Amino acid sequence: MTKEEQQDINRARQLAEEIVGPVRWTTDTAGYCACHGRNLHKPKSDDPDCKIHLDGPAGHSMLFCFHGGCENELNATAERLRSALQSAGIRFEASNECMEMLTKYLKA
């Protein structure tokens, strides 16, 4: 990894945490954070987690929630995250892990 790539990752993570809150990063560009719609989860759950991917298709970031009922909040947060990374001019290659999440959670 080049120094520039490492700087992009650090900057992107920082921007992401400003928007979604603390993230438990599991890869350079993906991790878990508390869903902004956690109070709306149906059925109610003690586990507030959703998954954050900075490495979605076409350079986009993505949020995936394992719960239901929070779609509006999740989408609004995802949109803020996406535009923050776009404004910063940071984009990552799509990861296999994110593509798998997409097929699993966004089945049409």
Q: Which of 52, 70, 78, 98 binds Zn ion (CB under 5 A)?
A: 70
Q: According to the binding rule CB under 5 A, does residue 52 interact with Zn ion?
A: no
Q: Which stretch binds Zn ion (CB under 5 A): 1-9, 51-59, 63-71, 85-93?
A: 63-71
Q: According to the binding rule CB under 5 A, does residue 67 interact with Zn ion?
A: yes
Beta strands 30-34; 24-25: pairing state: antiparallel
Q: According to the binding rule CB under 5 A, does residue 60 interact with Zn ion?
A: no
Q: Which of 52, 54, 65, 81 binds Zn ion (CB under 5 A)?
A: 65
* Region of residue 10 (phi > 0: left; psi between -120 and 50: alpha; otherwise: beta): alpha
Answer yes or no: are the C-beta atoms of 38 and 65 closer than 8 Å.
Answer: no
Which residue do the tokens 């999440």 mark?
101
